[in-house]
Structure 1
Amino acid sequence: MPFRILREQAGGVARLLKAVANARRLSILCELAEGEKTVTDLQNLIGISQSALSQHLARLRRDELVATRRDAQNIYYRLDDQYVPDLLGYLERFADVYDREAANDRRPPAERPDIAAE
């Protein structure tokens, strides 16, 4: 039976996909895939307000994708799911292929699903 495990784990997989479906959360995960970072580091790298960043980090913690550690005044964030780097690698390859296909798409912008939906 194809996709048996995916069917059995559909709830967890859907939760993961919802977490990475947000561009800001995806950016946070990409930064953390390169190593542990403080909230200030992430704020500077991603360019969003501290309150918005805190909300995204709280969501990622709730979904058990990131973990924290405190060192004096700083809180450090790191990936807390061993499979997130693999998922990010797959998404990177998908984005590269999608980008090349979109660059070769000669349809008018209004007929392209990637643009028309915006």
Structure 2
Amino acid sequence: MKNCSVSLNRNVDQAAKLLSTMGNARRLQIICILLNSEIAVGALAEKIGLSQSALSQHLAKLRKLNLVTARRDAQHLYYSLSSEAAVKVLETLEDIYGDGASPTARS
């Protein structure tokens, strides 16, 4: 394996925050759902099986790092994925753990 670039070394704290935030299983589920489309908070809570209160706490952490954005339409709040970095991390995880990954890559 080659060494990390100078640029990555300069941004190591930011990268660690991204990975730490995405490293929570529930937040990773949220990001996976938002990858394909915008979704209302109530529908998202139902899909994940969390109360809206618990979901709100996870969404606040994702918003803090600008991984998701919110849009209000009347009384409804919709969330969408807004981070290209998060998309790239998901693509890498899909390569490792997705349906097409080799069994040895998953261990």
Aligned length: 103
Residue ranges of structure 2 left out of the alignment (5+ in a row): none
Identity of aligned residues (%): 42
Unaligned runs of 5+ in 1: 104-113
Q: CA deviation at 1:29?
A: 0.3
| Structure 2 counterpart of 1:43 | 45
**Higher radius of gyration, 1 or 2:** 1
Counterpart residue identity of residue 7, structure 1: N
Instruction: Select the structure with the greater relative contact order (CA < 8 A; seq sep ≥ 6).
Output: 2
Deviation, 1:28, is: 0.2
The Cα of 1:2 is off from its aligned counterpart by 4.1
1:60 is the counterpart of 2:38: no
Distance 1:93 1:75 in 2: 32
Q: RMSD over aligned Cα, in angstroms?
A: 2.0
Question: Structure 1 residue 80: deviation in Å?
Answer: 1.6
SS of the residue 1:75 aligns to: strand
* Distance apart, 1:82 and its partner CA: 2.0
* Deviation >2 Å, runs of 4+: none
